[in-house]
Structure 1
């Protein structure tokens, strides 16, 4: 199939872009990398009358660490560029690792970080990492700019806090957390497929006691939004992340995770896979703790 007819424009400023999105006389869609939008156009799942290409807006192509040490990624910044950036790999290795699980190199070269976040497929890697790292989302409309947390941003499957007349202009990752080990792991049918289920783990070691001081466990493919599981985190905190603690965390997954079933996997398969992934990711994260 081919897309229905549409107009195309490439504004030079954010103001021009949001003005086009706010025009109620025709439906508009934002295009950056197009890795999600173009297939939807071809299958006619999306039928916009106007495509607003934001890749020629200079400020949206910025990738930098600000004066407070936070990582700021503009809406037109490609995934491959982020994953290859030295500052990202050193300060936010969980983000770089998760990007490596997205599709194939061609997709990561064209796809954008903000595009994947705004599209919000619940099986995607980046929403999970955004929640694990407490990312903030900068959203701009004709009436101004607002910032929301990751917990507020993801609303439901393919739905976020961005309104039709607004643009996600930037995602901000807080400064790196000292003393943390990290891991991202996922289960998929084939390399490059969306995750059947996946997990992001952050563990902080208490250097005096040699135990887990803080833990963050977030799953993808386990619900309509990224799923944080505090019960699994509690099972790890205060322990040496050994066999008993990992078994308790796995039991917390079986008791607390409620994924859906579909043609790709049953709910029980996802739950069992999530428990095994969590154990493996926790071992890796603990080994990486300084």
Structure 2
């Protein structure tokens, strides 16, 4: 199938891109990696009159590691983020999650910011942004603004970006010292959309857990973070008490998520699966914490 006719715009600066978006309004779509947009266009599930292709815009392909966050530009491909040793050293979760995104061919072209702006509940990177308490940087002809993850996702495939705004970068917040992360998902075939997925961050100080949080893939309508501190705090990773606490954490996750039944899996199956994945990622983080002793 072929997309409906459209006008292709190729701005060279962020200002030019913002100006075009302001002019075309609801008739425009931003093209970066295109791994979500192009199939939708080809199936004519969307028929924008204008495509604003930002691939020629300078300054959007950088990864900047700061003391508080890792900033990822709008043209950074998933594969580039996964390869970045500096980003991995600062936030291992970025590589752990990115390597679960679809297939290598898609990761080579798809962008991390584009995945977040697409706001698919089955996407890995929105869940990572939430777990990192991340921020989206947006630009329009009216100026710039920063949107915290809690205010960015409005619903499945829906964000609070205005029609004239361009997401130019996201910032993934770094974690306190002693934090260990893990990310797992389960799909019928490797690279397919996950039936369920879980990412966790567990902070350990003086041998016991001080903080723990989880976020999810494919089992909530919008990204969601669950505080697991009430059931894990004060426990020693790998101890007998840890096993009991992990069981309680898995149950808390099952109670928290709201999966829907579809042709791929029932709601009950997804809930069971996300509980089991929670156990696995928490145990992975515990092994990492034990290795630090």
In the superposition, the TM-score normalised over structure 2's length comes to 0.94
Number of matched residues? 286
Other-structure match for 2:129: 130
**SS in structure 2 at match of 1:240:** coil
Unaligned runs of 5+ in 2: none
**Displacement of 1:235 after TM fit?**
1.3
Other-structure match for 2:231: 235
**Cα distance in structure 2, aligned partners of 1:224 and 1:215:** 22
**Displacement of 1:263 after TM fit?**
1.3
CA contact (8 A) 1:229 1:257 kept: no
**SS in structure 2 at match of 1:276:** helix
Unaligned runs of 5+ in 1: none
**Cα distance in structure 1, aligned partners of 2:261 and 2:19:** 41
**Cα distance in structure 2, aligned partners of 1:81 and 1:173:** 16
* 1:179-229: CA deviation from partner (whole Å, max 9, x where unpaired): 11110001111100111110000001121xx22100011111111112222
Q: Where in structure 1 do 4 or more consecutive aligned residues deviate above 6 Å?
A: none
**Greater mean deviation of Cα atoms: 248-257 or 14-23:** 248-257
**Displacement of 1:25 after TM fit?**
6.9
* 1:10-32: CA deviation from partner (whole Å, max 9, x where unpaired): 10111111111111477111000
Q: Report matched runs for 1:201-280 at 5 Å.
A: 201-207=200-206, 210-230=207-227, 232-241=228-237, 242-280=242-280
* 1:132-187: CA deviation from partner (whole Å, max 9, x where unpaired): 01111101111010001111111110011211111101101223431111100011
**Cα distance in structure 2, aligned partners of 1:70 and 1:277:** 27
* 1:230-282: CA deviation from partner (whole Å, max 9, x where unpaired): 3x442112222421111111221233322111111111111100100000000
Other-structure match for 1:36: 36
**Cα distance in structure 2, aligned partners of 1:222 and 1:42:** 28
In the superposition, the TM-score normalised over structure 1's length comes to 0.95
CA contact (8 A) 1:136 1:147 kept: yes
**Cα distance in structure 2, aligned partners of 1:96 and 1:46:** 31
**Cα distance in structure 1, aligned partners of 2:122 and 2:226:** 16
**Greater mean deviation of Cα atoms: 236-245 or 33-42:** 236-245
**SS in structure 1 at match of 2:269:** helix
CA contact (8 A) 2:119 2:126 kept: yes
**SS in structure 2 at match of 1:272:** helix
**Greater mean deviation of Cα atoms: 279-288 or 233-242:** 233-242
**SS in structure 2 at match of 1:22:** helix
**Cα distance in structure 1, aligned partners of 2:29 and 2:259:** 30
Alignment RMSD (CA, Å): 1.4
CA contact (8 A) 1:217 1:233 kept: no
Do the aligned partners of residues 188 and 285 (structure 1) sit closer, same or farther apart at CA in structure 2, a change above 3 Å counting? Answer: same
Do the aligned partners of residues 62 and 3 (structure 1) sit closer, same or farther apart at CA in structure 2, a change above 3 Å counting? Answer: same
CA contact (8 A) 1:64 1:73 kept: yes
